Amino acid sequence: MQLPPGFVVGAPPLSLAGAPLSPTSDRITGRVTQLKHACFQFGTRSIATRGEPADHCHPNVLCLQIQHTLFDKVIKYLFGILSFLFHFLSQEIDAKLQHKFPEWFLPDKIILKSQKPNWEEEFDKELEAYHKLQRLQGTVIPRFHGTIQFNNVSSMILSDVGGHCLSVPEGAVLEKEDLWLLLEQAHMAIADLGAYHDDIKLDNFHLVTDNGKDKIMILDLESVGFELSGEQLSHVAKGSAAWLIDQYEDHLKCMECDGIILPKRPLRT
């Protein structure tokens, strides 16, 4: 596949390249406040949760807090002891234990992402991306914990990366030069494993502070591709970061006009 000069995978038509992006009400308000109770079976565990949709644009994505029963706490404690012992005996055995019973090693906060109607191919592509990018789980992309059937729909359990997406005021607090550095680092990280993200919009990138350091987490992997190689991947990674910065600048102008922009802060390194 030969890319023409200046081509960026996921970029909009040139007719839209200079148009400011007006923030939607969903981007500005962030998560909705309607609480939901969700119960599902994951492996050997029945899990009860409470939470809310990620936002109005993604009703298929639930941000959930696990409600632990006394039985849950006892079993998790026992698995924790086993994991602690196995870790000293053999890290490989410990990894196999957590792989065999992931339901007992879930964090308290999880993301439940259900397949959209008629999006079977995209759902499968996202699963493929999580497996191929496994080394980056928890650092550049969310952790993938497994799949379940939720309301008779295929769904995946992911970690909650925290932070804020770049399309809301709380996520738009860095100077563009600092953000550009983080975005390029994240895109180059997946490029090093042969991947690129083909849905380049601010909603799909979270500014997260982890152990006192800022970083970008990449979400919505159903548009991740693996057919490029070499210089093509490097070119696309840098171009994607540049296109996101263009969107970011336009978005800052819109938020300033709306009076909702937050003060910029230094990059945490």
SS3 169: helix
Pairing between strand 153-159 and 36-42? unpaired
DSSP 8-state symbol, 47: E
What pLDDT does residue 44 have?
96
**Residue type (1 letter), 228:** L
**Residue type (1 letter), 215:** K
Residue 76 has pLDDT above 80, yes or no: yes
Q: CA 140 to CA 57: how far, in whole Å? A: 23
Burial class for 55, CB neighbours closer than 10 Å (0-12, 13-18, 19+): buried
pLDDT, tens digit (0-9, with 9 covering 90-100), for 182-207: 999 999 999 999 999 999 999 999 99
pLDDT, tens digit (0-9, with 9 covering 90-100), for 245-263: 999 999 999 999 999 999 9
Phi, then psi, of 220 in degrees rounded to 5 = 55, 75
**Residue type (1 letter), 115:** Q
User: Hey, which bits of the chain come out as E strands?
Assistant: 36-42, 45-53, 61-67, 109-114, 144-150, 153-159, 164-165, 196-197, 205-210, 213-218, 224-225
Residue 1 has pLDDT above 60, yes or no: no
CB atoms within 10 A of CB 48: 14
With contact defined as beta carbons under 8 Å apart, do 35 and 50 qualify? yes
Q: CA 189 to CA 68: how far, in whole Å? A: 36
pLDDT classification of 54: cutoffs 50, 70, 90? confident
Q: Between 59 and 111, whose confidence is greater?
A: 111
pLDDT, tens digit (0-9, with 9 covering 90-100), for 77-136: 999 999 999 888 888 899 999 999 999 999 999 999 999 999 999 999 999 999 999 999
Complete domains list, the chain, with CATH: 14-27+162-258 (1.10.510), 29-159 (no CATH)
pLDDT, tens digit (0-9, with 9 covering 90-100), for 125-169: 999 999 999 999 999 999 999 999 999 999 999 999 999 999 999
- As a whole number, mean pLDDT of residues 35-54 equals 92
Residue 35 has pLDDT above 70, yes or no: no
What pLDDT does residue 34 have?
63
Residue 13 has pLDDT above 70, yes or no: no
For the chain, first and last CA: distance in Å? 37
Residue 5 has pLDDT above 50, yes or no: no
With contact defined as beta carbons under 8 Å apart, do 165 and 172 qualify? no
H-helix or E-strand spanning residue 180: helix 176-191
Q: CA 173 to CA 53: how far, in whole Å? A: 24
Looking at mean pLDDT, say which of 1-10, 12-21, 205-214 comes out highest.
205-214
